[in-house]
Structure 1
Amino acid sequence: MLVFDGNYMLERKGDPGANPAHACAWRLKIIDFSSGGARHAYIRPYAVLAFRKEGGIFKSSCAESLGNRICKDFGLNVDDILWVEAFPDLPGALYVAVFTPRYQEMMIDYTVSWRPILENEQAAVAPWC
């Protein structure tokens, strides 16, 4: 089931009146696999698909830029997400984020690394790509 299908933009706090063409925006889809029965039982309960929109001057991924905000906005736990992104400089390829926790005092932060999408993951998200 598709939970969200829309645009998310990186807000520029230092320049609130800035032209949106210079901000980073992603087309975001959030999929709830848990509502589909046992069909995707081997995949995490949710998938986040992020496709970078045209424009923007920053070079970063959606997971690194907006991951915390998206998880908070939709009540998602990092351990329950299959995060998939396409990068403009690597056309036609999808990559999966690997979130590694870093514990700092009373907070948890995550580093993000990337791996190619697996065949079963590609098949699971294909209807929404």
Structure 2
Amino acid sequence: MTLFNGRYRWDGTKKDNLDPIAWFPGSYDVKILDCSIPGRKVQLLKPYICLYARTGEGQSISANPEKFAKRICRDFSLEIERVLWVEDLLTETDRYEVVSFTLTGKMANRAFYRIEKRKALDREVKMIENVLTYLTKTQAPC
């Protein structure tokens, strides 16, 4: 099921006591899918896929995607560690980069994460391509 497929924008200002994704405006093309199957006995560790790509408009979040991921999770009621985060680098080779967030600690209500980036594995690339096919042809993505 598609949760979001469109351009996700931010204006670079602080609202509701929340820091902005970046202090300058920007936007990314974002696709969020729920790959869980209702009634299935075995649950996926990462039932959601968030595929995001630069639009060329405004500030890039590629170097530090934590605030972006936290805001996406807040807006769509997701758990950051249960999402497969994939950045589409829009290149011919090594097009997809998987970003992992591992909780390292908390202070009051603020969580801190270790961020690791790696090239997408072949099976992940196949799943991403299935997701993109689903979005264009509405077939089962996962």
TM range (shorter): 0.7 to 0.9
TM-score normalised by the chain length of structure 2: 0.69
1:95 maps to a residue whose letter is: E
Unaligned regions of 5+ residues in structure 2, if any? 15-23, 133-142
TM-score normalised by the chain length of structure 1: 0.75
RMSD: 2.5
Give the conservation status (yes or no) of the 8 Å contact 2:30–2:53: yes
3-state secondary structure, aligned to 1:51: strand
Deviations 1:25-63 (A, max 9, x none): 11100011103887xx7662000000110232x342283
Describe the shift of the 1:2–1:36 C-alpha distance in structure 2 as closer, same or farther (beyond 3 A).
farther
Which of structures 1 and 2 has the larger relative contact order (alpha carbons within 8 angstroms, sep 6+)? 1
Deviations 1:59-101 (A, max 9, x none): 422833411111011111122110000235xx13100001122
Task: State whether structure 2 residue 126 is matched by structure 1 residue 120.
Answer: no
Partner of 2:7: 7
Question: What is the aligned residue count?
Answer: 117
Partner of 1:87: 89
Partner of 2:76: 74
Identical columns (%): 28
Give the conservation status (yes or no) of the 8 Å contact 2:34–2:49: yes
Q: Which has the higher helix share?
A: 1
